Amino acid sequence: MLRGVNKQIIEVNNTGNRYFDKALLFVNPQYADISRHKLDIEANMYIDSLENSAKGNDGGYLKQNKKKGIIRTGLLFSISAILLFIMIYVIFL
């Protein structure tokens, strides 16, 4: 819900995100006298920073990286368990 009629709002139509078509940014009243062009630039930079902060170092989303890390840890644990079993089997044979 939007409240107040004296708010300056910047609408960003191209968010670069497949889930969100538009973003509404409410301009801080102390910066309301800055040029529209400068506010548009700042708005787009802010949206870009949101997208970049949601990505990991290799460009993948953090959730995907976490899932890959869990799979790698599981594989490493499985391989370690198999090697330990083989070592114990060889020692006691």
pLDDT tens digits, one per residue of 4-34: 556 788 888 877 777 888 888 888 888 888 8
Instruction: Please tell me what DSSP assigns to residue 55.
Output: B
pLDDT at 57 (0 to 100): 43
Place of tokens 């460009």: 59
Q: Are residues 48 and 79 in the same domain?
A: no
Which range marks the domain in which residue 39 is found?
Answer: 1-54
Q: Are residues 2 and 47 in the same domain?
A: yes
For residue range 60-89, list pLDDT tens digits in order. 555 556 667 777 788 888 888 888 888 887
Q: Are residues 19 and 49 in the same domain?
A: yes
- The answer to whether residues 13 and 21 touch, using CB atoms and an 8 Å cutoff, is yes
- The answer to whether residues 23 and 9 touch, using CB atoms and an 8 Å cutoff, is no
Output b/e per residue, 68-82; b: 16+ Cβ within 10 A.
Answer: eeeeeeeeeeeeeee
| pTM across the whole model | 0.48
Tally of domains within the chain: 2
